[in-house]
Homo-oligomer: A and B are copies of this chain.
Amino acid sequence: MGVVVPLGQKGPAGASLRPLMKLVEADMERVNSLISKRTGSDVRMIPELANHLINSGGKRIRPMLTIATAQMFGYGGEHHVTLAASVEFMHTATLLHDDVVDESNMRRGKAAARLLWGNEASVLVGDFLLGQAFKMMVETQSLEALAILSNAAAVIAEGEVWQLAAAKNVSTTEDDYLSVIRAKTAALFSAATEIGAIIAKRSGDEQAAMRSFGNNLGIAFQLVDDALDYTGEEGKLGKSVGDDFREGKITLPVVLSYRRGDDAERTFWRRTLQEGTIGDDDLEKAIAIMRKHNALADTIERAAHYGAMARDALAIFPDGKHKAALQEAVDFCIARVS
């Protein structure tokens, strides 16, 4: 494993998340202590299970986006910290439910919570975190932020159901697939950045720019994730290479390979992903077919396209360290594949 997918001309390979992390460091410390406080409960299983996942080294990119956006707009209040923690709770709740739905065994390089505490507890602690997320949002008294985040919650779940219903259809179109990831990933990225503009009381145009930035970054992020599932290094990935394949998930590398393939290859995709009959060599074979059709490299190319749209969405803002750090974060998300 550990295949390097060539990035082409679209993103500098040396891009780093560090400038962004540096800018948001102080506020993120407050986000982290709020997260830790709000997972507290007299019911011991709740903080144990929640912290197992929350402290497992996720990059917390979504709350960082909320903080960075609010800072870029010179926001001087406290609500960005509360909303950033809400966003991370919504994300964590989704991960807990996803792992149950997908029967995943690993998450961020550790055993999935559902293996240690059971599916039941994962569902319920996810519900608890979602409840806490909404409680925190309400505390900010921002009905606009609440409208955006509650809409995102419904859209994410809708996208997950869609994916569940479409899971076993190898002839899913690229458009349909994009609709799924717009819902299940981009909606929360988009909400995370938009609410930063909203609490800073920026104009409608500026809110729209941040919404667009988050949306396109989210799509790029998910596409890269889809490629990484076939090309990543296990240690970095925090999950097993080939998880999507074993779970019969139709992602863009599969969509492209199926469309570009011959009859024998299409039979292979149907057998492995639709019927779930997977032999020992099939993952390697799947990767070989993907390479033959440039499906992995083109997935990254597509990601770079959405990344470019994300960067352009920020163009209306004056240059500054926050804008630069956010744009570099886009490059990082795409470059992490190498």
Give the number of times this chain occurs in the complex, counting copies. Answer: 2
Within the assembled complex, what's the spacing in Å between the Cα atoms of A45 and B159? 11
Measured CA separation A161–B130 after assembly (Å): 14
Do B120 and A164 touch (CB < 8 A)? Answer: yes
Query: What B residues does A105 contact at CB under 8 A?
Result: none
Q: A97-B127, A123-B97, A127-B97 are in contact. Are A134 and B158 (CB under 8 A)?
A: no
Contacts A101-B124, A120-B101, A135-B147; A43 near B153 (Cβ below 8 A): no
Q: Any chain B CB within 8 A of the CB of A141?
A: yes
Q: Is A124's CB under 8 angstroms from B43's CB?
A: no
Query: Do B160 and A127 touch (CB < 8 A)?
Result: yes
In the complex, chain A residues 118-175 whose Cβ is within 8 Å of any chain B Cβ = 118-121, 123-125, 127-128, 130-132, 134-135, 137-139, 141, 143, 146-147, 150-158, 160-162, 164-165
Chain B residues near A155 (CB, 8 Å)? 131
Contacts of A128 in B (CB 8 A): 154, 157-158, 161
Interface-central residue, A101, A128, A161, A162, by most chain B CB under 10 Å: A161
A46 at the B interface (CB under 8 A): yes
A41 at the interface (CB under 8 A from B): yes
- How long is the Cα–Cα vector from A164 to B126 in the complex, in angstroms? 14
Chain B residues, Cβ within 8 Å of A199 = none
Q: Are A134 and B161 in contact (CB under 8 A)?
A: no
Q: In the complex, which residue of chain B has the Cβ closest to the Cβ of A102?
A: B120
CA distance A41 to B164 in the complex (A): 15
Q: Please provide the 3 A-B residue pairs with the shortest distance between their CB atoms, ordered closest to farther.
A: A131-B154, A131-B153, A134-B150
CB-defined A-B contacts under 8 Å, sample of 23: A43-B158, A43-B165, A44-B165, A45-B165, A46-B161, A100-B119, A100-B123, A118-B164, A119-B119, A121-B164, A125-B157, A125-B161, A127-B130, A127-B153, A131-B152, A131-B156, A131-B158, A134-B150, A134-B153, A135-B147, A135-B154, A137-B150, A141-B143
In addition to A131-B154, A131-B157, 12 A-B residue pairs with Cβ atoms within 8 Å of each other are: A41-B161, A43-B162, A46-B161, A97-B124, A100-B123, A124-B161, A125-B157, A130-B153, A131-B153, A134-B150, A135-B154, A143-B143
